[in-house]
Structure 1
Amino acid sequence: MDRLTNTVRPYAWGSTTAIPELLGVEPTGEPQAEMWMGAHPGAPSRIDRGTGEQALSDTIAADPEGELGAAAVAKFGPQLPFLLKILAAGAPLSLQVHPDLAQAAEGFADEEARGIPVDAGHRNYKDANHKPELICALTPFDGLCGFRPPLEAADLLSGLDVDSLKPYVDLLHAHPEEAALREVLTAVLTADREEMAATVAEAAAAAERLGGPYAPYAPLAHHYPGDPGVIAAMLLNHVRLQPGEAMYLGAGIPHAYLDGLGVEIMANSDNVLRCGLTPKHVDVPELLKIVRFEPADPNVLRPEGNGEEVYETPIDEFRLSRYDLAPGAAPTGVPAGAPQILLCTAGSPQVGNEKLAPGESVFVPASERVELSGSGTVFRATVVL
């Protein structure tokens, strides 16, 4: 078992206080958006086995079966297939979707064949993997997830009483659901930029005045003035997760995180296609191939089970669960046989012979078995074999 030293990413949308408060340290004044735990090449965790710090990715590469187990290597290859994060949104993240596995492989091969540099700003596919995600709230957490039914979206837009939105309202009433959502999102993202900026300003002012169901959308224009994503966001369900609740985001589901602190886990990929709320590249034709234009209720998850409470998802690259340890309870054994990261988010639990504070984590190789004791909350990230 190895205590992890992790990197905090200072993205502009990050909260300046949430991660420092969790860690019990003074804020720096700069945004602290994500703390990464895993072996992602962008910022791998570091461990020290007595010979100095080294990247967890290098440790795994030196002995994949010893660290990950033969079954995990056979199923996922010689790398840790998930990335665990603490995510602290102080401002809205981009509105985005992720491709499925076949779309990612096809898109990556196409851009490779066309010689587009992998770090180019207009590159869509950084790798050939999909990027399903799960976010679990540590504080009340606001987000957008999946399309509203078109008639519900039409009522929301109509209630703003903005003349330039009326053609979108008519489209949402006039077509079958999938066609309606496709046509409106296409129209919003391809509209004249100056005209759309005026629409966004008027819609945001109305949302701020009306409040209620409009309240989550008013701040978007303050962060992204004139951005078509402000209107696109109104086509989506607003979700507020309470601490302990989670949201699973599969391929093609448009989503955005707005505000709050959470534990996020995802398949190891950087593939993102953006719809708006960003200064970055938006490839509308490629985006429209990936988005699933299906209205659906947000998939809010609550953990299930006794002892180990599991957030059930339909993929194998990651499995997230939670242990709430009560003072004086008997030690709890954690299953072995797969690689795992254990993360403390509250209290001072004992993991094996390591006492963890909030925000601290350990990597447990597949062959090692550990026990949890003491009191606090520990998240377990592993794979499904």
Structure 2
Amino acid sequence: MGTFSPRPDGPGRHPEKSGQQLPELGELLASAHVVSLPMRVKFRGILQREALLLEGPVGWGEFCPFPDYGDAEASRWLAAAIEAGWSGFPAPLRDTIPVNATVPAVPAHRVPEILARFGRVDAVKVKVAESGQNLDDDAARVSAVREALPDAAIRVDANGGWDLPEALTALKRLAAVGLEYAEQPVPDIPGLAEVRRQLRAAGVPVLIAADESVRKEEDPLKVARAGAADLIVVKVAPLGGVARALDIVAQAGLPAVVSSALDTSVGIRAGLALAAALPELPYACGLGTVSLLAADVTRDSLVPDDGGIRLREVRADPNLLAEYASAPERRDWWLDRLRRVHAVLASRR
């Protein structure tokens, strides 16, 4: 076994360079299960969510970077899966995690149907700036959420889909319903800083959250140093594991929202571990996304109940792994990807 760790010596360094042992490739391949889970609604342009699950000596890990991600970026996802299965998680400070509902870029008339899957809801994240849609679509969707939930906190997520003028126009309009914050309204850090500055100058009370500008940057603290956000969104897999994410939040010095990457319950368990270990948790977390899937890999899915998810262990069910096993060509594709990404981690020993 080679040297491996999901915890960096500094925020800009790779999470694979000290401490924990990197399992041999054969050990990972022997424990791998590839599944394809149907989704209730299209999200990120897909209707099937593929994931590779690994069973390690201390639990299950999930490796599910989206297909368009390169091997270097995907290596952080594998680091997180190995942490979950071979090292485990830090001691929790809380046993229930408050979570928000997530409304994809659906027509406004479908909002009540989507919200009904989440039970009691205190906060809602609404997708906006979807390709092929316009601001009227976004405004109708957000207004439908506000009509259904007059007292809920509403945050919008543009995934960097606006330019600066579009973001300012949209957020000034959407602010009329009362927004908790806007997540990644524009794609880059200078743009986030400018949106934040101009909204403040205009007296528009919308906080700016950074997501892609944290998890896709080589240096995830760059956004904090630039004063470009009021809070950061952290996701376990894209950041290389719970330990590294905790380190980033501590060094950023900004409030954090823990979110997911459209994970199965195995991946959500890692997100809950991060949320449970943070010293402060001021915002509901985006960890209720299993409700967007029409199937899962466990019989005891980590879905919201009364506005939160209770922290508990997750084991994949062999029957569900078999029922939703990917087609042979997709399994081969994921196993080839696992081989390549493991080689990336091994090269950083």
Please report the TM-score for the alignment, with normalisation by the length of structure 2: 0.28
Query: Per residue, is there more helix in 1 or in 2?
Result: 2
- The answer to which structure has the higher strand fraction is 1
Bigger-Rg structure (1/2): 1
